[in-house]
Amino acid sequence: MKLTATALVVGACLSLTACKETPNNVDNNAAVNSQSAVTPADAKKFIDGAEAQLLELIIEVSRADWVNANFITEDTSKISAVANEKYTNIIVKLANEAARYNGLDLDYDTARKLEKLKLALTLPAPQDAAKTAELSTIVSDLGGMYGKGKYCKADGKCLSLGDMSSTLSTSRDYDELLDVWQGWRTVSPQMKPLYQRQVELTNEGSTALGYADTGAMWRSKYDMPADDFTTELDRLWGQVKPLYNSLQCHVRARLGDKYGTDKVPQDRPIPAHLLGNMWAQSWGNIYDLVGPENADPGYDVTELLKEHKYDELTMVRGAEKFFTSLGFEPLPETFYERSLFTKPKDREVQCHASAWDLDTQDDLRIKMCIQRTGEEFSVIHHELGHNFYQRAYKGQPVSYQESANDGFHEAIGDTIALSVTPGYLKEIGLLDKVPDESKDIGLLLRMALDKVAFIPFGLLVDQWRWQVFSGEVKPEDYNKAWWELRTKYQGIEAPLTRTEANFDPGAKYHVPGNTPYTRYFLAHILQFQFHRELCKIAGNEEPVHRCSIYNSKKAGKALNEMLEMGSSRPWQEALAALTGSNKMDATAILDYFAPLQTWLDKQNEGRSCGW
């Protein structure tokens, strides 16, 4: 999904001269000389000027990116790149200016906004022109290596990541799966020396901003001491781990039935290439191998949409009605005038579904090449969740126009999608009768294969990076540490020998792309906690997995009160505003999947679980 530009900054300077320039429109009186004494008044003046400048730039970048996404040409790509380069360079300058006020006794808002400005950088550049230019080149090179990656076989046929992902999702041939799994990982070994150098350079930049290392800087975004945040993640994982272990045990047993226990030993981790996904991060593609018999719920949402003559616009209007039923105001008519709902025949566009806020106020849009399917109907609800969040916090200063933490935005969209239940489909007239609870296991298992299976992967990607940034994991152990974490958390293992000549973390986009990953772990925890609480507020009396908050004004009011806060207060306060607790709680996942847990326990009787 697409957020305002503050959430998009990569943070490495893109050109030597730009890093040395004073950006246009910066108040030079506010940008206090580092050699002179600074005061709280200086800090407030600086951040006020920075916010005014950033607001103007956010709108400029958002419009350039929107045009590029919807009219892809060499020219629009260049316009977007120039706008983003200008914005990134100014963020680099302002973040380093913000660090000058470290240690001052500041009022709450000035201190919070300064910290957010420093933390807008994902990869802070060193304060050295040559090193900054070097880091910029590395960032570009790593992205290029991943984006151009292909697996060329001995017969000269080259496969893209899309080709190989399709094979992994559909093939049931052990050796074919192994071939493409190994083939994709030929793109990443050459990344390792560049990645190692990038770690050194960005750690230097993080230290200059006052953080121990880049990992500590990333963890400092979460309104708590960096080390305490790591402990909090472990606590949450401990809550959900029993359910995950049961799921892993059942999946391993069924894969053993399919491929033989010689290939899938029942006392070892699952070979990573058999789970239907290039990174074994979600397992829904192998539902046909592990699902229960007679689990068909008796309806197909895609067919229901066709039967009721839903087109793309009807699907969007229907999803909007979900939010208005909660008491939210309808979207502005410009949303329908300016959004992209179908793939144009006359131009290239980015079809990946995303939600946009172009002016930090009311110019809300989505960009989707909508297919008339049940899955897409759920995705539309998810994307509109982002739009209504964006509009809810429009009254906040630009520094606070984002979610309470980076997990909240995705969690809100997913929370809404959890209410797209059979009961909701009946309520809006798509379904005549809600299937009885005997049909729930198949639906729950299919969801668990994607959502529960993802949780440990969502946790371990940054666990590995944080250990690399801190020096706990040395370059000579990069790959070893990666697979140790994958075995520890996921109970999977490489299907063949891996050494330090490999660099398997680099085969996952978010590593060479330098995209923090913990946000996805948090979103998977929070969405179920939000859903459980909203169902209570709505007065739901059904099992939580059957609950939809559709038509509940009370639930809508409680949700909106949290959304309106943006990031103006620590996320713990935003969470408490909705749930009454300032702690994230993964037991909501256990509640949601309780019937599935009972079913898994029965399936796993007599099996040897664990690894």
Active site residues: 352-353, 382-383, 386, 410, 510, 520
Name every residue whose Cβ is closer than 8 Å to that of residue 22 and which is 6 or more positions away in sequence.
28, 31, 93
- Rounded CA separation 283/274 (Å): 9
Helix (H) or strand (E) holding 59: helix 40-70
Output the CA–CA distances (angstroms, integers) from residue 39 to 36, 50, 117, 281, in the order listed: 10, 17, 18, 49
Give alpha helix (H) positions in 374-439: 374-392, 406-418, 422-427
- Rounded CA separation 66/64 (Å): 6
Long-range contacts of 284-288 (CB under 8 A, 24+ apart): 284/446, 284/449, 284/450, 285/168, 285/169, 285/170, 286/251, 286/255, 286/449, 287/445, 287/446, 287/449
Instruction: Decide: helix, strand or coil at residue 492.
Output: strand
Long-range contacts of 364-368 (CB under 8 A, 24+ apart): 364/331, 364/332, 364/334, 364/335, 364/390, 364/391, 365/66, 365/335, 365/338, 365/339, 365/340, 366/316, 366/335, 366/339, 366/340, 366/341, 367/2, 367/66, 367/69, 367/70, 367/339, 367/340, 368/340, 368/341
Q: Which two tokens stand for residue 571?
A: 């996320």
Pairing of strands 492-493, 270-271: parallel
Contact 534, 548 (CB under 8 A): no
Instruction: Decide: helix, strand or coil at residue 271.
Output: strand
Positive or negative torsion for Cα 596, 602, 607, 611: positive
DSSP string, 311-374: -HHHHHHHHHHHHHHTTPPPPPHHHHHH-B-S--SSS----S-EEEESSSSS-EEEE----SSH
How does DSSP classify residue 417?
Answer: H
- Rounded CA separation 205/132 (Å): 9
- Rounded CA separation 199/84 (Å): 23
How does DSSP classify residue 2?
Answer: -
- Rounded CA separation 414/352 (Å): 16
In one-letter notation, the amino acid at residue 471 is: G
Length of the chain measured in residues: 611
Nearest to 87 by CA among 112, 120, 58: 58
- Rounded CA separation 273/297 (Å): 29
Q: Which two tokens stand for residue 258?
A: 């399919």
Name every residue whose Cβ is closer than 8 Å to that of residue 184 and which is 6 or more positions away in sequence.
149, 151, 161, 164, 278, 507
Instruction: Decide: helix, strand or coil at residue 128.
Output: coil
Q: CB-based burial of residue 22 (10 Å sphere; 0-12 exposed, 13-18 middle, 19+ buried)?
A: exposed
- Rounded CA separation 277/301 (Å): 24
